[in-house]
Structure 1
Amino acid sequence: MGPIRVHKKRKVDKKMEPSNIASGSSEEASADWFDALAKKIASNLNSSPSKGLDSFESMFNMSRKTFEYVCSLAREHMMVKTHCAFSNGKPMSLYDQVALALRRLSSGSSLITIGDSFGTHHSTVSQVTWRFVEAIERKGIQHIRWPSTENELMEIKSKFEQIRGLPNCCGAIDTTHIVMLLSTSEPRTDVWLDSKENHSMPLQAIVGPNMKFLDVFSGLPGMFSESSLIRYSSFYNKCQNGERLGKKERLSEEAELQEYIIGDSAYPLLPWLLTPYQGKELSQTKADFNKRLFATHIVAQRALARLKDVWKIINGVMWRPDKHKLPRIWTGGLQFS
């Protein structure tokens, strides 16, 4: 899978406003909706809402404002599909469906656990969650994109330089692995083994100084290391062809510096990808550069750590996931983490 395609931003019209995203139900759009949901879950779990589900943020890992925006993105796709209902036959509203999907993705709990807590069958949880993933992939992907204007790129460079003085830096690249438990009957499972002997799928990400995702690449087996993974990405091809990271900044009369991203020592040193100096006996200049690079590169590590914290379904071991669909599952977490 190449970097996720970017769609142009669409202006949100009145149909997308929070007051209209619950299928016209003023009860759903009010605070009463969440109170009723929290009580229902507590009742189904024979517990009290105070056990970690007493606030909007603790249940969905996002604010109510963000939740309403997510609903506006998902509305068109999710409300024209197959009818979904709770076990008692009551139809699910848009809010109900988005809440169920977000709870599944942000908690990482099983289909059965989520179904029991919401009062619906686990097959409904699976169906609603996948429709939500499709909706967010279609409507929200504009949140993951490379800067489209010179002003945007200049702002990124300026903020990176403010961290530890690296000029003309456009991004930080890092990779995390989504660990999977695969069936022993699957053919060629060995290709999914990574350097830690886990079956996994790597997710490569380039982030900005504010930990916003600028480019992602995934879909290949765990056997691919960072140095080989990057060469299969369209980002690599664009940089090699001069379509990206080609502008130079003059540092002095004698020196100029090309745009670049930074990575750790697992990545190859390229004209547009700077990595740390290797070796134990480094000069003071090289050691200082490494310190600057490490301090700046940490934004990529933090962004991926936050992604797994927000989208807990990919944190830990995923049980026999559909490897063709897996890269699409974390797109929502990339956008809202």
Structure 2
Amino acid sequence: MSLYNAVKEVTPVINDKLKRLIGWPSTQQARERIPLNFRAIAGLDNICGVIDGTHVDIATPTVDEPQFVNRHNRHSLNVMAICGPAMDFYYINARFPGSVNDCRVLRNSSIFQFFENGWRPFNNAIIIGDSIYPTLPWLTSMIPGVNGPQRRFYDNLQKTRSIIECSFGLLKMRFQCLTKLRVKDPSYSANIINCVALLHNFIIRTRLEDENDDNEFLLIEN
């Protein structure tokens, strides 16, 4: 069996068996730790996650090729994710082509509908993101060029938001296939991205099991 066929065979198995490793904790005790751990980063309250997008380059698709050309003139998928304070992923969506901007990816995701309809992992929970995202009751976005009394809050927001950049960096360091996925089927590429995100979470949460014994997670489909 070739390496390509082996990966193609094992990827859906991992995505099915480990799918519950991407999501917010399902137990109240574990969810209550999230804002406490985020507060330890920069003193901000009620944070339930940090959102951002990252591009993963792919081989030139054979169908709808122009849709996958990003602003750097490369073929990619625009991968949106929400991470927790331990750099694990609570949500990931790798289904959008590189020409689609981060805000549109969010507005067309299941997590947007969940939060718009009132779902929260805990009371008053908010997500933070950069300036491309809209400011909503449940989403606080960065405002560039802030000075004066708000500068300290902005700096704390930026410090907290940087955890998603660290999460993406750690993911790509662990799974260097994400430098460029050399398959022409974007759907298969998306499945691989989801698979390595699950393995990333497995590594992190296995390490955390020594500290906590209630790490059950709530699955939210893309």
**1:265 alignment partner AA:** S
The answer for the alignment partner of 1:106 in structure 2 is none
- Name 2:215's counterpart in structure 1: none
Residue deviations 1:235-268 (CA, integer Å, cap 9, x gap): 0000000122672xxxxxxxxxx31011111222
Which residue of structure 2 aligns with residue 71 of structure 1?
none
Code of the residue aligned with 1:284 in structure 2: it is G
- What SS class does the counterpart of residue 166 from structure 1 fall into? coil
Structure with higher RCO (Cα < 8 A, 6+ apart): 2
Helix, strand or coil: the match of 1:220?
A: strand
1:324 and 2:187 aligned: yes
TM-score by length of structure 2 reads 0.84
**Structure 2 match to 1:93:** none
RMSD value, Cα? 1.7
Structure 2 segments unaligned to the other structure (5+ residues)? 201-222
CA contact (8 A) 1:239 1:245 kept: no
Residue of structure 2 in register with 1:295 after alignment: 159
Which TM-score applies when normalising by structure 1?
0.56
Query: In the comparison of the two structures, how many residue pairs are matched?
Result: 200
2:8 corresponds to 1:135: no
Larger radius of gyration between Structure 1 and Structure 2: 1
Distance between the aligned counterparts of 1:336 and 1:218, measured in 2? Answer: 15
Partner residue in 1 for 2:168: 304
Q: Give the conservation status (yes or no) of the 8 Å contact 2:51–2:83.
A: yes
Q: Give, in whole Å, the separation in 2 of the partners of 1:227 and 1:134.
A: 28
Equivalent pair of 2:39/2:47 in contact (CA under 8 Å) = yes
The CA distance in 2 between the partners of 1:131 and 1:178, in whole Å, is 21
Query: Contact 2:32/2:122 (CA < 8 Å) preserved in 1?
Result: no
Describe how 1:243-254 pairs up with structure 2 within 5 A: 243-244=119-120, 247=123
Written as runs of structure 1 = structure 2, the 5 A alignment for 1:1-337 is 123-182=1-60, 186-244=62-120, 247=123, 258-278=124-144, 280=145, 282-315=146-179, 317-337=180-200
Structure 1 unaligned spans of 5+: 1-122, 248-257
Q: What is the CA–CA distance in structure 2 between the aligned matches of 1:156 and 1:182, rounded to whole Å?
A: 40
Q: Secondary structure at the match of 1:269?
A: coil
For residue 192 of structure 2, what is the amino acid of its counterpart? I
